[in-house]
Structures are given as C-alpha cells and as structure tokens.
Structure 1
Amino acid sequence: MTSTANPDYWSLLGIRPDSDAAQLKRAFRREARRWHPDLNGNDPVAEERFKLVNEAYAVLNDPRRRDAWQRGTGVVEADDDPFTTGFPDFEDYLDVIFGRRERREDAAPEPASEPEVMPWQTGDSHVSSERPVAAPAPPPPVLAVEDLESVVELTPDQALLGTQVELTLGDGTLIQLDTPPFAGDGWRLRLEGVAPGGRDHFLQLRVITEDGLRVDGLRVHYKLELFPPDAALGCAVDVPTLDGPVTLQVPPGSSSGRLLRLRGRGLSMEDQLGDQLVEVVVVIPSDLGEDERALYRRLQELALESEIQ
C-alpha cells in the first residue's frame, strides 16, 4: 500500500480546517502548554515539538501565510522569532504570541477546554491532510525526584483500556492502582503522600512497541529516520504499524520534523479510530567516505553560489 501526504498544521494542533479563531487559539494554548520545554524537562523531543506548534499557529493565524501554505506556494516567513533568546516562561510566551500586556496577576483565568474528538474515519489506511482523531490531553507534567519515580511498561491495549498496576516502594509498601484509559507514553501519575515521610511518588508510563511505535491515547507516533538523499528526493519506505508494515511514499524536500499521517492506523475504541503520525528525522551518517564528502562539499558550494546569485 503506497501513500502520499503534505504537512498538516491543522492536525498538529488537533482541530478541523473549518475551526474559527477562538478554537484555533484554544487549541494552540493547549498544545503549547503540553509541549513547552519548561514543563517537559524530561522529554527530549518537547523543544522540537513546541517549535512546530508555534509554527502551526503562526501560519494558521495569519491569513496571508495560511493562504500561501494552503495553495502549496510556500510559507511566508514570520517577521520575528520568539525563540531567538531561548524559551520564555510559558505565560510570558503567551503574552508575546497573543500581544497581551496586562499584568499576570490581574489577568482573569481562561476556562479549561476539553480536547475535541472527531467521529470514526473509515476507509483504507493512507496518508491524508485531514486531521486525525485527537487523543485526550495528558495530565500536566510534574517534576519528580529521581529516587521517587518508577517506570511501568504497558502494552498498547493496557494503555488504551486502563489496567491495574502493583508497585512496591523502597520501604516495602505495596501499592495497587488503576491506570486511566487513553493513557500515553511518557505520562506521569502522582501518588500523593505514599512515599516515606509523606512525600509523593511518581509513576511514569512507558508505552512503546519493539518497532518503536509510541502510543498516546488513540494515536500512534513513529520517528522515521532518513538519509539526506532520500529526504531531499523523496522515497518509498516500509513503516511499521500496529497491524503490520505499510509502504509510505515520502514527498521530496522533507525536512526533519515533517509529519505524515497514516489514517486509521492507530488504536480503536468503540466508534473512534486513531491515526498514526510519522515524523521525519533526517540523519547524517557518521562514517562518510571520501567520495561522499566530496559530494557534500559540492552541494555546499552550489548552495553558496545560489545565495550569491
């Protein structure tokens, strides 16, 4: 089975293409809080995903840039970059994006909004620009002391349906708890006051298959590593899914961070069906031969010549 795709900022924010400005803003706030680096100290991919969320909002919130993206003529560059001096505090970051200047303590709290869950999408699995079924947002990230954190591995079905977990603490205390349904890899559950001295213990869920498929609610995530020639020219590659491998056609000019969607290749629950998101990661071989180095040097020269012209 062969598929094609284009980047989808709507899917990245988990909303429909016909969403209004208020829905776009709420979705951006939800995803920005979820992936902000200050709130994900133990997640190595949070910084990259946070930048993608910011890029998606910058494009969709600007009619000129959104029109250019939808017509496939490229994305107009933003006038400024809030990350040139690092990542600001989350609330300060929202002040910059939304143009707010009021004092933080005077601002009225915004009511929480539930993530949207779309109806079941039927049909053969293929990459599409339609948004995938949005998984429930994970619990807010928490900071944990290393010796008060345990890792529990779950199967995709256990994460989806919830399961009972037994945990033995350092002092021999046996804890039994039920994990929530629609859980995902990297979720942290706080067990309040169960550790010695009345401290909290943290339970980190790990939901990753042997093929490297990460489960998050109904969604499945997969990192596809490509060599520069394959990413630049496009290629057909076999990608693992929960139901077996499928052939994915990677479009030419795919940079690291590009998301391709395999529709219907996630988990299912009653009338809901999740999707699989494939993230392109361009890697450079560490053992380049002399001929390969010569080709890269020539590419570098061509790039410099193009800039001069």
Structure 2
Amino acid sequence: MTSTAEPDYWSLLGVDSDCTDQQLKRAFRREARRWHPDLNSNDPIAEERFKLVNEAYAVLSDPRRREAWQRGGGSRADVADPFAQGFPDFEDYLDVIFGGGTGRSSVEVDNEPESPFRGDDASGDDARRETRGHEPPVSSPPPPPPVRAVEDLESVVHLTPDQALQGTVVELTLDDGTVIELNTPPFAGDGWRLRLEGVAPGGRDHFLQLRVVTDDGLRIDGLRVLYKLMLFPPDAALGCAVDVPTLDGPVTLQVPPGSSSGRLLRLRGRGLQLDDELGDQLVEIVVVIPSDLGDAERALYRRLQELASESEQGG
C-alpha cells in the first residue's frame, strides 16, 4: 500500500487563501507559463508541475470545489488526465481557459514580473505546509487541442544578472542575414521569451529565450534569485544545515525537518537590488534518491515502507 501527500494548491500558485479572483488568475497565468512543457523542454518535472498548476486553478477558481477541498473531501484517483493527448500551445491554452485573445504587441514578453511563488522563511518558523484532500479538477471546458506541429524559430540569449535587471541591447542575426537590434525589458528573468513578430522569413515570428543563470545555478527572476537545493531523503526528513550559494557568496541554511520536494525557503534580502528595492532568494527543496543504493540502504528503505504500511493499517 502506498500513500501520496495531497498538494497545497495555494502554495502551488503562490497566493494566499484571501486573494482576489484577479490575483488568482494572474498567479495561474504566471505559473502556467513558467511550467508549460513547450517552454521547459529540458526540465523533466515541468509536465507534472504544469498539470498540478492546472489542477490547482481548476479547484480554487470553483467555489464549490474549493470549499470541498478545504474540508478535506475529494479524490484525484478517478480523474482523467486532460493532457493525455498532448500539451496545447501556450497561448491556445490560455484562450481556452480564459477566453478571448491576448492582444500581443510586435515585441512582447511571455512573462509577468511578479513573485513566482511564495517562499517560507529560512528558519522554518513561517512554514505552513498542510496536507489537504480536494475535489477533482474542473471537467469543462474540454481539454485544449494537442500541441501544434509547427517549429518556432527561436534563439537563446544569455544575460548576466545585472543585464537582466537593468535591461540591455541585444543584437540578433537571422538565418537570412538580417540583423535585428532590440532592448530587453528591465526586471527580466530566466526563461522569459520575447516574440519578434513577423521578422523571420515568410513573415514568421522569431522568439528570444532569455537565460539568466549563474555558474552556481542561481536563476534570476527580476529582483528575486531562485535556487534548487538537492537533498537526500535522510537530510530532508530529519533536517540539516547546508551551505547554499548566493550572489554575495555561500551562506548556511537551516533546513527544517520534514521538508518535502517543492518546499520553499526564503533567504531575505539575498536577491538583487535596484535603488531602494531589494529582492529575496527562494530556495526550493528537491529530494533525490541515489541511483546506486547499497544492500544495507535498500534494506532500510524496505523497513521504512513496512512501517508506513503498518501505520496506515493501524490508522
């Protein structure tokens, strides 16, 4: 017998339970863009995270389902996967969810400079991780169409944190020799996509994907710095002190006991600064299982599995 902890939908979308409908929509749009598989082809967890984001919005945007979920009702086991036939183009997906067009300009930013998620304090005192049951996601409107088989023209542009924050001039040479010069927007972040409308041969669009990642693996998003911290299960379960990189050098972070993958810890004031504005660094816990477990380690995991099964049967 196995058990799966239900996700905290508020944390998944990075909003509080007293947020407005408009704030919920903005948060959903931001997180859907952040995790859409088309925009994260090299991230193996993007598809599952994107599905969870869709599920979270489906529940929280429906008062009846949200109330049922907060009471602890509902199950995910019998819900059909709306993306079983593939993932839609991102803009088609938003049109199905929200309706209407998106009103794009000739050079546009596929991102919103808002907080990508709500973090916990590094001390763990503000950590609020509740396990809740919930209702199935909304079954209508019907699932969006599969991804269109059209190859976008795209270039990757690497920026330093300062260039992303201040904005900089980028020069792009297309396949036909056309040279384009444009200014990147300030407060940009890693993974942002800029669309150059109609500049490619045949009147096609050309996309620029911004990469803003330091050698230490710090991702920049406006004033915020994002970092994934890999932990082995014992360290995540029991808590540990670990050194993590920041823009100003490594600092020691105290990881609270019982930290699951996806938990967010915040290092206040460790982000970028512009005038009087100072951002934070958000550390996301990622629990990893070693691929080369020894016999003794496997035996311990089997014993943990037995204890978990006994606990469920006893409850």
TM-score (norm 1): 0.69
1:246 & 1:167 partners in 2: Cα distance? 38
| Superposition deviation, residue 240 in structure 1 | 0.8
2:151 is matched with 145
Query: Among 255, 263, 268, which residue is 2:260 paired with?
Result: 255
Report the alpha carbon displacement of residue 37 of structure 1 after superposing the two structures with TM: 3.5
Structure 1 stretch displaced more, 81-90 or 285-294? 81-90
Aligned to 2:41: 42
The residue aligned with 1:157 is 162
3-state SS of 2:259 partner: coil
* 1:85 matches 2:72: no
1:268 aligns with 2:264: no
Question: Please, what is the CA RMSD of the aligned residues?
Answer: 3.9
Distance of aligned partners of 1:302 and 1:286 in 2 relative to their CA distance in 1, 3 Å threshold = same
Higher relative contact order (CA 8 A, sep 6+): 1
Alignment-derived partner of residue 24 in structure 2:
25
Secondary structure of the corresponding residue to residue 160 of structure 1:
helix
Structure 1's 92 and 231: CA in aligned 2 closer, same or farther, altered over 3 A? farther
Q: Separation in 1 of the partners of 2:156 and 2:55? A: 33
CA distance in 2, matches of 1:152, 1:273: 25
User: Which amino acid in structure 1 is aligned with residue 74 of structure 2?
Assistant: D
46 and 270 in structure 1: CA distance in 2 versus 1, 3 angstrom threshold = farther
- Selected match of 1:209 from 198, 214, 220: 214
1:11–1:263: structure 2 CA closer, same or farther, 3 Å change rule? farther
Matching residue within 198, 203, 206 for 1:198: 203
Corresponding residue of 1:280:
285
Percent same amino acid among aligned pairs? 63
Q: Secondary structure at the match of 1:249?
A: strand
Question: How far apart are residue 86 of structure 1 and its match?
Answer: 2.0
Give the partner amino acid of 1:34. R
Q: Following TM superposition, by how much is the alpha carbon of 1:246 offset from its aligned partner in structure 2, in angstroms?
A: 1.2
**1:268, CA displacement in angstroms?**
1.7
Aligned to 1:26, what secondary structure does the other structure show?
helix
Change (3 A) 1:303 1:39: same
Amino acid in the other structure paired with 1:80 = S
Please show how residues 147-186 of structure 1 align to structure 2 within 5 Å. Answer: 148-186=153-191
Checking the alignment, whether the CA contact within 8 Å between 1:28 and 1:53 is kept in structure 2 is no
In 2: Cα distance, 1:87 partner to 1:185 partner: 28
1:69 maps to: none
Contact 1:125–1:264 under 8 Å retained in 2: no
Residue 81 of structure 2 aligns with an amino acid whose one-letter code is: G
Q: Which amino acid counterpart does residue 201 of structure 1 have in structure 2?
A: H
| Matches of 2:122 and 2:247, distance apart in 1 | 12
Equivalent position of 1:97 in the other structure: none
Return the alpha-carbon distance in structure 1 between the equivalents of residues 204 and 102 of structure 2. Answer: 31
Q: Is the 8 A contact 1:266 1:274 kept in 2?
A: yes
Code of the residue aligned with 1:277 in structure 2: it is L
Shift in alpha-carbon separation, 1:144–1:241, aligned structure 2, 3 A: farther
* TM-superposition CA deviations, 1:201-224 (whole Å, max 9, x none): 211111000010111111111110
Q: How many residues align?
A: 263
Amino acid at match of 2:167: G
Distance 1:267 1:81 in 2: 40
Verify the 8 A CA contact 2:10 2:17 in the aligned structure 1.
no
Gaps of 5+ in 2: 1-6, 104-110, 116-120, 128-147
1:236 equivalent among 218, 241, 245: 241
